[in-house]
């Protein structure tokens, strides 16, 4: 059964589009999405593999969790005043997912494996819009595979560490402003697989039954693309030597480090409150650079500045147990954009975003529970000249609806 689900998820590896700051996708647990994606300062079951490996040693039973979200997102674009051209990104359904398994070796040591998709972006503007020479379509995907160990130092203190092996890829398509005799524009497609490594460490401290705190650090992962394929189409014959067939590219995309501090507060048996603050090391993303194996239009590289800024995300969440079986959840967060003025691009037309979430959990049987979540993201309308990034200037507005469902099995 598990392998079937994994295979199924493997078939839809495209993770969500950029609905968090930059191209981060904060959808790592269906219970925690319902609580505004807090969780660093809580024992979150198997999802502690992601939120805080230090809390993993506090799980009471072995467990397996699988879950997925569906991102329905739309981005509107309008050309700078007094232009009239508009566009809407027709993004495919994003399907970020998570699979966690945790096993208690003994009272003190717990081991686990997590597979999740913390970064990804699929934006599809098409090849008709006025910004098509900047971007037609971009897919970024990253799947983190994280074997993890957690050790209960005392009844109040746990530490954990996970090794991250990330796999993924990039596919970028854009129109080239050269036209053949039929007036058709050239097109370039860059496609390549990528991989990288990193780690996830956490400390969890629970001084009383009512209070817990956690600190988590997920390191930067440099995703490196080696010998990706560059495919040119519709290039006029007289220019074919400038856009040579068989060109390959190397690129590197940093998936930034995230440092999170979380607090959990349990005033009663039924109520859990949580607060998280994260700092995302976006400043690692300085430029988007492609190195070509042979000159493309006379140049061996293509470099566009990004100069992202480090950002903070503020989250609050709550869970209330209505009875033995049913839990209701709600949360909200505010996510600052790492994109500075002048650097807005159509790949991640980012702006400060507000997230509102709700969720339910239901204990079906002693071993099986279901979580469902719904997240609404509304990004502020943003107008930018995009004159420093080679982007497409104009006004962008994004919203997303993200339903999700997950299953937990304990044994």
Decide: is 134 part of the binding site for another protein (CB under 8 A). Answer: yes
- E strand residue ranges, 206-256: 211-218, 221-233, 248-255
Nearest approach, Cβ of 319 to another protein (angstroms)? Answer: 21
Decide: is 132 part of the binding site for another protein (CB under 8 A). Answer: yes
- Region at 270 (left for phi over 0; alpha for psi -120 to 50; beta for the rest): alpha
Contact characters 384-403, another protein, x per CB under 8 A: ---x--xxx--xxxxx-x--
Nearest CB to another protein, comparing residues 193 and 390: 390
Question: Maximum distance among all alpha carbons in the chain?
Answer: 75
Contact characters 141-180, another protein, x per CB under 8 A: ------------------------------------xxxx
Q: Please report, as residue ranges, which positions from 321 to 380 form the binding site for another protein (by CB under 8 A).
A: none
Nearest CB to another protein, comparing residues 286 and 381: 381
Buried b (16+ CB within 10 A) or exposed e, 126-158: eeebbbbebbbbbbbbbbbebebbbbbeeeeeb
Could you tell me if 123 and 91 are in contact, meaning their C-beta atoms sit under 8 angstroms apart? yes
Nearest approach, Cβ of 50 to another protein (angstroms)? Answer: 29
Nearest approach, Cβ of 132 to another protein (angstroms)? Answer: 7
Q: Please report, as residue ranges, which positions from 173 to 202 form the binding site for another protein (by CB under 8 A).
A: 177-181, 183
Decide: is 306 part of the binding site for another protein (CB under 8 A). Answer: no
Which member of 58, 77, 97, 144 binds another protein (CB under 8 A)? 77
User: How many Å from the N-terminal Cα to the C-terminal Cα in the chain?
Assistant: 16
Nearest approach, Cβ of 188 to another protein (angstroms)? Answer: 12
Task: Name the one range near another protein by CB under 8 A: 79-87, 93-101, 275-283, 306-314.
Answer: 79-87
Nearest approach, Cβ of 136 to another protein (angstroms)? Answer: 11
Nearest CB to another protein, comparing residues 129 and 333: 129
SS (H, E, C) 140-198: EEEEEEEEEEEEECCCCEEEEEEEEEEEEEEEEEEEEEEECCCCCEEEEEEEEEEEEEE
Q: Please report, as residue ranges, which positions from 220 to 249 form the binding site for another protein (by CB under 8 A).
A: 236-239
Could you tell me if 93 and 70 are in contact, meaning their C-beta atoms sit under 8 angstroms apart? yes
Nearest CB to another protein, comparing residues 59 and 75: 75
Phi, psi of 339 (to 5 degrees): -90, 120
Which member of 76, 113, 261, 328 binds another protein (CB under 8 A)? 76
Cα Rg of the chain (Å, integer): 22
DSSP 58: G
DSSP 94: B
Q: Which residues contact 87 (CB under 8 A, 6 or more apart)?
A: 76, 77, 125, 126, 128, 129, 130, 131
Q: How many residues does this entry show for the chain?
A: 411
Could you tell me if 257 and 118 are in contact, meaning their C-beta atoms sit under 8 angstroms apart? no
Decide: is 404 part of the binding site for another protein (CB under 8 A). Answer: no
DSSP code string of 343-364? ---SSS----EEEEEEEEEEE-
Which member of 103, 133, 151, 314 binds another protein (CB under 8 A)? 133
Beta-bridge partners for 296: 299
* Nearest in space to 396 (alpha carbons), one of 408, 384, 382: 382
Decide: is 71 part of the binding site for another protein (CB under 8 A). Answer: no
Which member of 82, 154, 365, 366 binds another protein (CB under 8 A)? 82
Nearest approach, Cβ of 358 to another protein (angstroms)? Answer: 11
Nearest approach, Cβ of 299 to another protein (angstroms)? Answer: 12
Decide: is 86 part of the binding site for another protein (CB under 8 A). Answer: yes
Decide: is 92 part of the binding site for another protein (CB under 8 A). Answer: no
The contact set with another protein (CB under 8 A) reads: 74-79, 81-86, 88, 130-134, 177-181, 183, 236-239, 381, 387, 390-392, 395-399, 401
């Amino acid at each position: 059964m598990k392998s079937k689900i994994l295979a199924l998820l493997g078939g839809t590896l495209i993770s969500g589009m950029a609905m968090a700051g930059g191209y981060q996708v904060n959808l790592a647990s269906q219970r925690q999405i319902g609580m505004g994606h807090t969780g660093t300062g809580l024992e979150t079951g198997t999802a502690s593999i992601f939120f805080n490996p230090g809390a993993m040693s506090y799980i009471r039973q072995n467990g397996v969790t699988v879950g997925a979200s569906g991102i329905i997102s739309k981005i509107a674009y309008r050309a700078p005043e007094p232009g009239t051209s508009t566009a809407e990104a027709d993004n495919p359904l994003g399907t970020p997912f998570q699979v966690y398994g945790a096993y208690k070796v003994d009272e003190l040591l717990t081991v686990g494996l997590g597979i999740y998709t913390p970064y990804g972006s699929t934006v599809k503007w098409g090849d008709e819009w006025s910004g098509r020479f900047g971007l037609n379509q971009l897919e970024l995907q990253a799947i983190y595979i994280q074997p993890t160990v957690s050790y209960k130092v005392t009844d109040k203190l746990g530490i954990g560490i996970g090794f991250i092996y990330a796999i993924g890829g990039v596919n970028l398509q854009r129109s080239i402003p050269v036209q053949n005799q039929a007036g058709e524009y050239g097109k370039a497609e860059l496609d390549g697989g990528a991989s990288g490594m990193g780690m996830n460490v956490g400390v969890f401290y629970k001084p009383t039954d009512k209070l817990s705190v956690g600190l988590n650090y997920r390191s930067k992962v440099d995703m490196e693309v080696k010998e990706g394929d560059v495919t040119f189409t519709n290039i006029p014959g007289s220019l074919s030597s400038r856009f040579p067939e068989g060109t390959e590219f190397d690129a590197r995309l940093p998936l930034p480090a995230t440092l999170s501090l979380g607090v959990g507060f349990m005033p009663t048996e039924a109520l859990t409150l949580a607060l998280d603050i994260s700092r995302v090391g976006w400043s690692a993303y300085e430029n988007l650079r492609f190195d070509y194996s042979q000159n493309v239009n006379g140049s061996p590289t293509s470099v566009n500045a990004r100069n992202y800024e480090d950002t903070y995300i503020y989250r609050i969440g709550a869970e209330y147990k209505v009875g033995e079986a049913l839990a209701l959840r709600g949360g909200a967060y505010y996510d600052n954009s790492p994109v500075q003025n002048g650097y807005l691009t159509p790949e991640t037309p980012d702006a400060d975003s507000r997230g509102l979430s709700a969720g339910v959990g239901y204990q079906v049987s002693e071993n099986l529970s279901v979580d469902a979540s719904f997240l609404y993201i509304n990004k502020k309308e943003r107008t930018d000249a995009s004159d420093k990034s080679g982007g497409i200037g104009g006004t962008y507005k994004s919203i997303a609806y993200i339903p999700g469902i997950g299953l937990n099995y304990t044994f």
